[in-house]
């Protein structure tokens, strides 16, 4: 069958025509560290306070998170998303961490006193590796960027949560799920 030409301009090949990369590519750590440093400086120049800076970093991280969710679900999970709370946390701790940072996060803990709070703990965070926090900005934690990634991944998977980064046993990401998420997970368990 011969095709009929309708437009003289050939459509450009879309990014979706390419096959999905295996994700094994590597770049030098210096490259990433310097790029990240520029990113932090850029954010810093546009804000006045440390919390604002952390928010801005988290926003940028979220951009990464939104994209990595689909990528990982397609590549690592055959397109299937987790529906259980614990599984989605393990997905973040293992699959996501491994593909972004080359290894799993060190620990995943559940808060004793609050059922909707979880902690993901990382002894040495990649984004804090080369950062010396200035004295006047003591609470600054550039891992807010990673917190933003985690938050976006969880939210995109249907588990709305708030994720913040803290200095505790290295870097700790506190994950606070919405009440509805915990309630729904209980319902799943009951069945």
Partner 1 sequence: MSRTGTKLDAKKVNSELFTLTYGALVAQLIKDYENVEDANKQLERMGYNIGIRLIEDFLARTGSGRCYDFRDTAEKIQSGFKIFLGITPSITNWSPAGDEFSLCFETNPLTEFVELPDNCSNLKYCNILTGVLRGACEMVQMEIACWFVQDQLKNDNITELRVKFVKRLEDAIPAGED
> 1 vs 31, which CB is nearer to partner 1?
31
CA distance 177 to 33: 31
C-alpha Rg value of the chain to the nearest Å: 20
Closest separation in Å from C-beta 189 to partner 1? 34
> 5 vs 21, which CB is nearer to partner 1?
21
CA distance 143 to 174: 12
Closest separation in Å from C-beta 119 to partner 1? 22
CA distance 62 to 156: 10
> 99 vs 117, which CB is nearer to partner 1?
99
How far, CA to CA in Å, does 61 sit from each of 10, 113, 140?
Answer: 36, 29, 16
> 10 vs 191, which CB is nearer to partner 1?
10
Contact positions toward partner 1, by CB under 8 A? Answer: 12, 14-15, 21, 23, 25-32, 34-36, 38-39, 41-42, 46, 59-61, 63-64, 67-68, 71, 99-102, 126
Q: What is the DSSP letter of 168?
A: S
């Amino acid at each position: 069958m011969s095709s009929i030409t309708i437009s003289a301009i050939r459509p450009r090949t879309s990014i979706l025509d390419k096959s999905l990369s295996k994700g094994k590519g590597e770049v030098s750590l210096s490259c990433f560290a310097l790029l990240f440093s520029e990113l932090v400086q850029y954010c810093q120049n546009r804000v006045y306070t440390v919390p604002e800076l952390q928010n801005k970093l988290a926003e940028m991280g979220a951009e990464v998170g939104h994209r990595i969710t689909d990528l990982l679900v397609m590549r690592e999970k055959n397109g299937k998303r987790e529906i259980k709370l614990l599984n989605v946390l393990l997905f973040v701790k293992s699959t996501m961490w491994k593909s972004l940072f080359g290894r799993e996060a060190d620990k995943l803990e559940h808060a004793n006193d609050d059922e909707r709070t979880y902690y993901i703990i990382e002894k040495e965070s990649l984004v804090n590796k080369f950062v010396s926090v200035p004295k006047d900005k003591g609470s600054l934690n550039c891992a807010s960027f990673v917190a933003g990634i985690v938050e976006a991944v969880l939210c995109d998977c249907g588990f709305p949560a708030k994720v913040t980064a803290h200095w505790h046993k290295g870097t700790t990401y506190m994950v606070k799920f919405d009440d509805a998420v915990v309630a729904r997970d209980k319902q799943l368990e009951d069945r």
